[in-house]
């Protein structure tokens, strides 16, 4: 809930970008950062520091506010956080309802959720740290339009999306967020904490729109499978941890699921993918 509160401030004060790219956080050397947010002729940045367990708010004027990350209610955190912003001259109004969760409670009224486990918060972040360079390596192979590697605080996943360059069919019944997110053909891959039905954290990959034959495409590694409920390929995080070369297993999953989308969706791969052999020969 704390990341949602901070994320909603970033959303409220940032210029709207294609596919909602003004929404997510980014993995940093200490935790998760909003990156620069415009405000009052300058900028400020907020970072969840999972080493010292602080929320750090810094402005381009050299001002800093620190909030301890420690057990307390969502309502108490919300009040202290908004007061800290006000003390820095940052005025903002957000919709105080959580998103993408069951049975949401307004931030300013949530006295039920009051836990913070610093050990597991840091362990969660270190998983993201281990994945960030692997996803960046996969991202570097593509010269078409692709997203940053970013962390969505609503669903709590680290994701990377490639685009074919073509508009996708309209989704007449979709909400505003979904229409914008999937306005163009995409192949997306990421890591998600998962749920009980999946058996734990997973890597996932999907294509939107999904081309014919996608779910039956042979992907790597062998433990990966298509989940009919999610309509995505999934690979258990525990299976990757047991692999002889976990990084190679993740890259195989990213590459093979992308190829399923690109081949079956007739993407112009020659124009979109980096020719590493040709570049190496030219050097």
Would you place residue 282 in the very low, low, confident or very high pLDDT band (cuts 50, 70, 90)?
low
- Residue 173 scores a pLDDT above 90: no
In this structure, the number of other CB atoms found within 10 A of the CB of residue 281 comes to 8
Is residue 52 domain-shared with residue 148, that is, in the same domain? no
Question: pLDDT value at position 254?
Answer: 98
Is residue 7 domain-shared with residue 52, that is, in the same domain? yes
Percentage of the chain modeled with pLDDT above 90: 90
27 within 8 A of 190, measured Cβ to Cβ: no
d(CA 106, CA 229): 29
pTM score: 0.94
Residue 73 lies in a domain: yes
Residue 277 lies in a domain: no
- Total count of domains within the chain: 2
Is residue 98 domain-shared with residue 172, that is, in the same domain? no
Helices in 42-199 by DSSP H: which ranges?
74-87, 118-140, 176-181
Tell me which residue of 25, 196, 248 sits closest to 125, measured CA to CA.
Answer: 25
* Residues 217-235, mean pLDDT to the nearest whole number: 97
For 27, half-sphere exposure in the C-beta direction (CA atoms, 13 angstrom radius) is 23
pLDDT tens digit sequence for 14-38: 999 999 999 999 999 999 999 999 9
Query: Residue 278 corresponds to which tokens in the numbers above?
Result: 């040709």
Query: Residue 178 corresponds to which tokens in the numbers above?
Result: 């979904």
Would you place residue 172 in the very low, low, confident or very high pLDDT band (cuts 50, 70, 90)?
confident
- Residue 174 scores a pLDDT above 90: no
Tell me which residue of 267, 231, 263 sits closest to 146, measured CA to CA.
Answer: 267
Is residue 56 domain-shared with residue 132, that is, in the same domain? no
Domain with 126 in it: 119-272
* Residues 82-110, mean pLDDT to the nearest whole number: 97
Residue 51 lies in a domain: yes
Is residue 112 domain-shared with residue 211, that is, in the same domain? no
In this structure, the number of other CB atoms found within 10 A of the CB of residue 123 comes to 11
Residue 109 main-chain phi, psi, to 5 deg: -120, 0
Is residue 6 domain-shared with residue 140, that is, in the same domain? no
* Exposed / middle / buried, residue 198 (Cβ in 10 Å: 0-12, 13-18, 19+): middle
């Amino acid at each position: 809930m704390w990341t949602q509160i901070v994320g909603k401030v970033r959303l409220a004060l940032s210029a709207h970008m294609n596919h909602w790219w003004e929404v997510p956080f980014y993995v940093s050397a200490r935790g998760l950062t909003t990156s620069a947010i415009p405000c009052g002729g300058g900028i400020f940045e907020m970072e969840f520091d999972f080493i010292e367990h602080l929320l750090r708010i810094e402005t381009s004027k050299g001002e800093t506010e620190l909030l301890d990350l420690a057990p307390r209610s969502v309502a108490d955190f919300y009040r202290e956080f908004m007061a800290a912003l006000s003390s820095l001259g940052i005025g903002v109004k957000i919709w105080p309802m959580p998103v993408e969760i069951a049975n949401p409670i307004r931030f300013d009224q949530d006295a039920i959720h009051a836990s913070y486990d610093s050990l597991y918060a840091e362990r969660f972040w270190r998983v993201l740290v281990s994945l960030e360079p692997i996803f960046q390596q996969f991202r570097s192979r593509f010269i078409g339009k692709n997203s940053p590697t970013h962390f969505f605080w609503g669903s709590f996943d680290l994701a990377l999306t490639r685009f074919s360059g073509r508009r996708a069919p309209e989704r007449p019944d979709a909400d505003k967020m979904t229409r914008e997110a999937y306005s163009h053909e995409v192949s997306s891959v990421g890591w998600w904490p998962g749920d009980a039905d999946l058996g734990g954290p997973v890597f996932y990959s999907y294509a939107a729109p999904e081309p014919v034959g996608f779910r039956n495409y042979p992907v790597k590694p062998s433990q990966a499978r298509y989940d009919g409920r999610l309509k995505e390929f999934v690979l258990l995080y525990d299976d990757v941890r047991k692999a002889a070369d976990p990084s190679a297993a993740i890259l195989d999953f990213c590459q093979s699921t992308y190829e399923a989308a690109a081949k079956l969706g007739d993407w112009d791969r020659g124009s979109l993918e980096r020719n590493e052999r040709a570049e190496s020969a030219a050097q």
